[in-house]
Structure 1
C-alpha cells in the first residue's frame, strides 16, 4: 500500500473520531473525560454490532487486503478492481456492497482507536497534575495496548482468510475491550458521584457491602458468559448456525451424530479439517450443539446472579436488566433456528451478547466497589 493511501486512510480514521470528540468538547457536561469514556463505550458497542453484521453478511473479505481496499484508502478508488471481482463471482466474497460494509467497519474501528488514544493522553496529563484516582492511567494505557492487539487480529482476520480461531479471538477481544471501557466508565461515574456527595458516608455504607457469595457469583457469571461468547463466535465463524434445524432436539435427536475432534480443532482453515479435507457436517453439528447446550449453563448462572442481586442496593437495576436481556437472548437464539437464520435476528443475538457483557461488567464493578468511602489516590481500580 502506497504512502499516500496510508495517509488518506489515517486521515479517514481521524475524521471518524472528529464528530464524537467535537460532541464531547462542545457538551455542557463539566466532566469531559467521563463523557468521552461513555461515548467511546457507546461506539465500541456499535462497532461490535456492526462487526457482527459484517461477519453475518459474509463481508469480512469484501476488501481482500488490509488495511486498505486493493491498496486504496476507500472503495471509490478501488471501484474497478471490486467490480472486476464481482463480475467474476457475483455471489462471492468481494462485491461493491460488501467492500463498503468491510471498510466502514474498519473506519469505525480506527475512529475508536483515536478516541482511546485521547483517553490515554488525557488520563496521563490529568494524573500528573492532580493525582486523582479517576485519572489513574493504568487502565487507559491497557486499553491502548489492547486496541493495538485487536487491530492486529483484525488484520490477520483478512490476511488469513477468515480462519475461525482468528475471527473468534477477534470477537473476544472486542468484547474484552467493551468490558474494560465499561469498567473505566463505572469508575468515572463513582468518582463523579463521590465528588458531588451523592454517596452515603463511610459508616453508613459498610452494611451495604455485598456478601462474598454474591461477588463470587457475579465473577462466575462473567467467566461463563465469556465462554459462551467464545462458543457463539465459533458457531458463527464456522457457519454452523443452521447445523441443527429444530429445537429443543437437534435434527430430530437429543444427541445427534457429532464429530468433536474436527469441530473443535482450533488451528485450521475455514471449512477444512487440520488435514485440509472438507469439514464434515457432523463437526458443524458438534459446534452448534455445544453452544446450544452451554446456553442452559449461562441461563442458570447469570439468572441466579441476577436473582441474588435483585434486592441488593446499587445493583438491583442491573440485575433486572440482566434478567430481561437473558430472556431476549434465549428468544433470539431459538428464533434464529426456527426462522432459518434471518439476518436481523442474528445481529440482535450478537447485540444481546454485547449488552450482557456491559451489564455483567457493571454488576461486578458495583459489587466490588459499593457506595462508600471516598477513593484514595493510591487506588487504581
Structure 2
C-alpha cells in the first residue's frame, strides 16, 4: 500500500521539483490543493456509486495491497451479492480513492520535511514549520475517519465527519497556499479599510454558514435522503411536509436505522432533505451579499465573481438533481461545487486578511 501511494505521489512531487516557479515549496502546496480538490470529488463519486465498502477492510483489500491480489475474495463476495457492496469495479473505485488520499498524505509529509529542514538552515518565514506540522496531524485525523468509515460500515455521522474534514483539509491547504503567495509577493494596495473590515466579517460569517450547509449536505448524502423530496419548491405536495426531526437528526446510529435499531422512517429522510434544501436559501443570501460587497473592491473582485458564478451553478445543480432523479454526474458536480465554494471562500478570507494587514501603497 505504501509503495503504491508513493508511486502515485511521485508524479506531483516531480512536477514540483522540476517547476520553474520561484518557489518549489509554494508549487508543492498548490499541487496538494489541486489533488485534495480532486480527492473530494472522487470521494463523492465513491460514495454516490456505493463503493465505500468495495473493500470491506482497511487499509488494504482483504488484507492485500490491491484488488488484483484480492481477486478470488472479491469474486466470491460478488457471486453471493452481484450488486455489491463488494464487486470488482467498486473495489477499484474504493482503492483508487485510498491511494490518492495516501498520496496527499505523502505530499504533506514532504512539506513538513522541507519546512523543518529549511527552517533550521535559514529561519525564513516561508518555511515556518508550525503550519505544516498542524497539517500533518490534521491529515492523520482525516485518515482515521477514513478507516472508521469502513470499519463502522458507513455510519452516517462518521462519513459526514470524513467529508467535513476533507473540506477542512482543502481550506487549510488553500490558506497555506495563499500565505506562500503573499510571502513571495507582499500585498500593497489602496483599499478602504472600513469596507475591508466589513468584507472580512462577512467572509467569516459566510464560511460558518457554508460549514453548516456542508454538514447538512453530507447528512443528506450519507443517509441517502436526496430523493426524499422529488419536487421543488414543494415536497410531497406541501410546503411543510410531514417530518421526523428526532430520528432524522439523531447523530449516533447505524445507516438506515434509528438509535433503537428500527428502520428509519421516510419522514426522517424528508426532514433531512427539507432542512438542507431550505438552508440553501440562507447560503445563497449570505454568500451572495458577501460577494456583492467584495465585488466593489478591485483586489477582491475576481474571487467575488467566481463565488457568484459557482453559487448560481450550485443552486441550479441542486434543483436539477431533484427534477432529474439524482443522475450520478450531476450529483458529483454538486459535490464539486461545494468544494469549489470552500476553496473560493478561503481565498476571499485570506486575501481580505492580508490586504487588511498589508501597509497601504505609497
| Interval of TM-score (by shorter of Structure 1 and Structure 2) | over 0.9
TM-superposed deviation, 1:362: 0.5
Partner of residue 353 from structure 1, selected from 333, 338, 348: 338
Q: Identify the residue that residue 5 of structure 1 maps to in structure 2.
A: none
Deviations 1:180-219 (A, max 9, x none): 000000011111113xxxx43xxx6474675322211110
Partner of residue 6 from structure 2, selected from 8, 11, 14: 14
Q: Identify the residue that residue 283 of structure 2 maps to in structure 1.
A: 298
TM-superposed deviation, 1:135: 1.7
Match runs of 1:1-381 below 5 Å: 9-194=1-186, 199-200=187-188, 205=190, 207=192, 210-370=195-355, 372-373=358-359
Deviations 1:242-271 (A, max 9, x none): 000000001111000000000000000000
Q: Distance in 2 between matches of 1:314 and 1:233?
A: 33
Alpha carbons 1:209, 1:367 under 8 Å: kept: no
Alpha carbons 2:9, 2:103 under 8 Å: kept: yes
TM-superposed deviation, 1:55: 0.1
TM-superposed deviation, 1:122: 1.1
TM-superposed deviation, 1:373: 3.9
Deviations 1:50-94 (A, max 9, x none): 000000000000000000001110000000110111111111210
Alpha carbons 1:208, 1:313 under 8 Å: kept: no
Q: Distance in 1 between matches of 2:265 and 2:238?
A: 18
Q: Distance in 1 between matches of 2:334 and 2:248?
A: 22
Alpha carbons 1:245, 1:337 under 8 Å: kept: yes
Q: Distance in 2 between matches of 1:120 and 1:373?
A: 30
Alpha carbons 2:191, 2:297 under 8 Å: kept: no
Alpha carbons 2:67, 2:92 under 8 Å: kept: yes
Q: Distance in 1 between matches of 2:104 and 2:124?
A: 25
Give unpaired runs (5+ residues) of structure 2. none
TM-score by length of 1: 0.92
Q: Distance in 2 between matches of 1:373 and 1:39?
A: 30
SS at match of 1:77: coil
TM-score by length of 2: 0.97
SS at match of 2:252: coil
Q: Distance in 2 between matches of 1:207 and 1:318?
A: 18
Q: May I ask how many residue pairs the two structures share in their alignment?
A: 359
Q: Distance in 2 between matches of 1:210 and 1:23?
A: 40
Which of structure 1's runs of 4+ aligned residues deviate more than 6 A? none
Give unpaired runs (5+ residues) of structure 1. 1-8, 375-381
